Amino acid sequence: MIEFTVFQRGDQAVGFRVQGHAGYAEAGRDIVCAAVSVLVYNFINSAERFADTVFDVRDRGDELSCRFPAALNARARLLFDSMLFGIEQVAEQYPEHVQIRRVRGH
């Protein structure tokens, strides 16, 4: 299962972590893993290119964490909200393969 965790301080997201594997299909054919991966990497790359935002990203293969700068600008926030919306839709369609959690106090 893919576990997508949003770290929050109050109501504001300050980063996220994605870990695990969907297990929907064999490696290289897993459309659930592919969907989540595309959404995550597109958010990071788009925010850096189009919203002038630099993140602290750590990619360990089966776990990727992303910490936001102190203040996320409006363009980067919109891109994050769009990514999260996409992952929520994937989790809705494949609830046994994707779980979203929110952790406060980070």
Residue in 88, 90, 78 with CA at minimum distance from that of residue 6 = 88
Report the alpha-carbon distance of residue 55 to residue 1 in Å, rounded. Answer: 25
CA–CA distance, 51 with 53 (Å, rounded to integer): 5
Structurally, at CATH architecture level, domain 2-104 sits in 2-Layer Sandwich (3.30)
Report phi then psi at 51, rounded to 5: -125, 10
Q: What pLDDT digit, counting tens, does each position of 10-53 carry? A: 889 999 999 999 999 998 899 999 999 999 999 999 999 999 99
Q: Is 69 helix (H, G, I), strand (E, B) or coil?
A: coil
Stated pTM of the model: 0.94
Strands of the chain, DSSP E: 2-9, 12-19, 56-59, 63-67, 98-104
Q: Domain residue spans in the chain?
A: 2-104
